[in-house]
Amino acid sequence: MNKQKFRNKYRTQSIRLKKWDYGWNAAYFVTICTKHKKYFLGKIIEDNMQLSTIGIVAEKCWKQIPDHFPFVQLDQFVIMPNHIHGIIIINKEDDRRDVEAQGPESVKSLNKFGGQSKNLASIIRGFKIGVTKEAHQTNPNFAWQARFYDRVIRNNNELEKIQIYIHDNPLNWKKDKLNIEK
């Protein structure tokens, strides 16, 4: 990953899709990791995920995302010992963009710094805050990694592959790159 200096500190360059507004209607594959990839969320026993108390909170908060963001639909997700994979579908009635006609490369980027709502970052931020508040009652050391990984899902074939990947994640834990004990 390319690192550049900002205010005399190295900073990781954004991996976000250029010219894409993350508030647009689309399906997004997200991965959210715990800080230092610590196993706060549970453990894998015989290829099955056993949620910890914080993992149960994370599952509850994940399922409540549409209660706080009514334009969101949830698809496949899995909570792993130190991360969460999930598919979030933004489906706003007032999304007037016609990506099929314009194509993402012809659309002027609408991503901005500053306060944002009704986009993928605000959804993830709300989820992390909800989990963290409850998790601190159990373990005051709980924390999330500052960023999250996302991918705009571009077609049904890609969606199906990601759904299978998420479903099979506990079975593949022994070779998972996020498994820090392998």
**Over the stretch 83-119, which tens digit does the pLDDT of each residue have?**
999 999 999 987 655 444 444 444 444 444 444 678 9
What's the gap between Cα 82 and its chain centre?
A: 13
**Over the stretch 61-85, which tens digit does the pLDDT of each residue have?**
999 999 999 999 999 999 999 999 9
pTM for the model stands at 0.81
Does domain 15-95+116-175 bear CATH number 3.30.70.1290?
Answer: yes
Residue 141 has pLDDT above 80, yes or no: yes
Q: Where are the domains of the chain?
A: 15-95+116-175
Q: How many angstroms separate the CA atoms of 103 and 88, rounded?
A: 21
- What pLDDT does residue 100 have? 45
- What pLDDT does residue 97 have? 58
